[in-house]
Amino acid sequence: MDLLSAASNGVAAARHLSSVPPELNNAVNTTLLCHSYSLQPDFASYFAVLKGNAWAIWSCGLLVLLTLCILYAVTLRSALKYWKDSRTSVAIVLAVYPVVAAAALLATVLPRVRVLSEAVEQEAVMVAMYHFYCLIIAECGGTTQLIRRSEGSHMETRVLPCCCWPCCILPRPRVQKKSLAWLRYLVLQMPVIQAILYLIVLVLWAEDMMLYLNSFIYIQPFIAASILSGVWGIIMCVRVAESTGAKPRPRFLAIQLALVIVKLQCGFAKVLPDVATLPCIMALHPSVYVNLIHNIVMILEMLLLSILAWRLYRVPPGKDAEKVQHVVIAVLEDSLSSLEKISDIGSHKTYSNKNDIKRDD
């Protein structure tokens, strides 16, 4: 017998029973219900919540991923015309965008693999950063050619993230084989150290989710130190290459934006449910919902970065520098021709004045 409906059905009931059911969706009950949802829902419950939205999200994500693969093939084909000696490095650098998008799409389908997809995304970017360093050296003609073209100049060590005190006391070594080898090791440690650290993270995550959440804060400083030191090495290499006439900065921006999206945006998505009081949407834990939105946005961002990479790698390296040189030469030629015309006019006027003076005499 339903006591709540007894009064409305004409059945005798106690006075304290009302025909109006109590309010169940108040703030307290909603909060308790929201936080009772799992941080790692299984696929069946996750799919039951998303319903028809799941097929729309996954279909659009798969379409974007296929577009990224086509863009990768087209960009790689164009880039290999100018990077014949660095095929492997170019292929790995350009592959970072479809790999990150594929990992993000997998996390939208299976929320329980979120930590694994983050590890794949960040390791892909770290490996691409090292191979981008190899591309910079190849663009300058190799280590020996880079040293010869730098003409004994000093390496700029006071760049981001070591551009302020107390890093201003850092020495500035000459561009030599020893300093370039040190620079290579500084960049190479990124994929190696990140792989070791994320292997530890995955072991903790596989053991217990709460153990991973409580321990990750102690691992984060080592991850940040490794990434910052590696980026510092790449920026120094970019400065050395620019001093010899190369122009790797636009391509470095494309890979740097991928690092910012994978690392900073991912960290923001992790922190947001803890620092902000988010509503419980679609019977999902706020952390799961935020990660879903984050992965969808990341797939679209990888598409935009892939288009940017296509525009940068379809032209030969240093084309911007050549355009600047052509403009400077054209301006100099115009200036010289103008000076010649002025001198011719001046000499003609002087000759005419002399003839007029002779006639007067």
pLDDT reported for residue 38: 62
DSSP track, 241-310: HHHTT---HHHHHHHHHHHHIIIIIHHHHHHHHHHS-----TT--HHHHHHHHHHHHHHHHHHHHHHHHH
Does residue 94 sit in the same domain as residue 225? Answer: yes
Number of domains present in the structure of the chain: 2
Does residue 216 sit in the same domain as residue 139? Answer: yes
Q: Is residue 351 part of a domain?
A: no
Q: Which SS3 state, helix, strand or coil, does residue 324 take?
A: helix
pLDDT reported for residue 276: 72
pLDDT reported for residue 168: 66
The pLDDT confidence band at residue 173, using thresholds 50, 70 and 90, is confident
Q: Is residue 352 part of a domain?
A: no
User: For residue range 343-356, what is the model confidence (pLDDT) as tens digits?
Assistant: 554 554 444 544 55
pLDDT reported for residue 4: 47
Does residue 26 sit in the same domain as residue 95? Answer: no
Does residue 126 sit in the same domain as residue 246? Answer: yes
The pLDDT of residue 335 is above 50: no
pLDDT reported for residue 288: 86
pLDDT reported for residue 130: 95
Does residue 50 sit in the same domain as residue 18? Answer: no
DSSP track, 158-206: --TTS-STTGGG----BSSHHHHHHHHHHHHHHHHHHHHHHHHHHHHHH
Does residue 221 sit in the same domain as residue 83? Answer: yes
Q: Which of 299, 313, 220 is nearest to 261 (CA)?
A: 299
User: For residue range 250-295, what is the model confidence (pLDDT) as tens digits?
Assistant: 999 999 999 999 998 988 888 887 777 777 766 778 888 889 999 9
Position 60: which residue type? C
What are the residues whose beta carbons fall under 8 Å from the beta carbon of 269, sequence distance 6 or more?
290, 291, 293, 294
Q: Is residue 360 part of a domain?
A: no
The pLDDT confidence band at residue 246, using thresholds 50, 70 and 90, is confident
User: For residue range 148-169, what is the model confidence (pLDDT) as tens digits?
Assistant: 887 777 777 777 776 665 666 7
Other CB atoms closer than 10 Å to residue 177's CB: what's the count?
11
User: For residue range 290-331, what is the model confidence (pLDDT) as tens digits?
Assistant: 899 999 999 999 999 999 999 999 988 866 444 434 433 343
Does residue 31 sit in the same domain as residue 95? Answer: no
Q: Is residue 340 part of a domain?
A: no
Q: Is residue 233 part of a domain?
A: yes
Percent of the chain with pLDDT over 90: 39
Q: Is residue 330 part of a domain?
A: no
Q: Which residue has the higher pLDDT, 286 or 31?
A: 286
The pLDDT of residue 16 is above 90: no
Does residue 228 sit in the same domain as residue 120? Answer: yes
Does residue 147 sit in the same domain as residue 190? Answer: yes
Does residue 317 sit in the same domain as residue 219? Answer: yes
Our CA angle for 357, 358, 361, nearest 5°, is 90
CA 285 to chain centre: 27
Does residue 57 sit in the same domain as residue 2? Answer: no
Region 192-217: mean pLDDT is 90
Mean residue pLDDT of the chain comes to 79
pLDDT reported for residue 2: 47
What residue has token string 């960049």?
A: 187
Does residue 25 sit in the same domain as residue 75? Answer: no
Across-strand partners of 174? 154
The pLDDT confidence band at residue 37, using thresholds 50, 70 and 90, is low
pTM value > 0.85 = no
The pLDDT of residue 199 is above 90: yes
Q: Is residue 361 part of a domain?
A: no
pLDDT reported for residue 269: 87
CA 127 to chain centre: 13
Q: Is residue 344 part of a domain?
A: no
DSSP track, 34-71: HTTS-SS--HHHHHHHHTHHHHHHHHHHHHHHHHHHHH
Q: Which domain holds residue 262?
A: 42-325
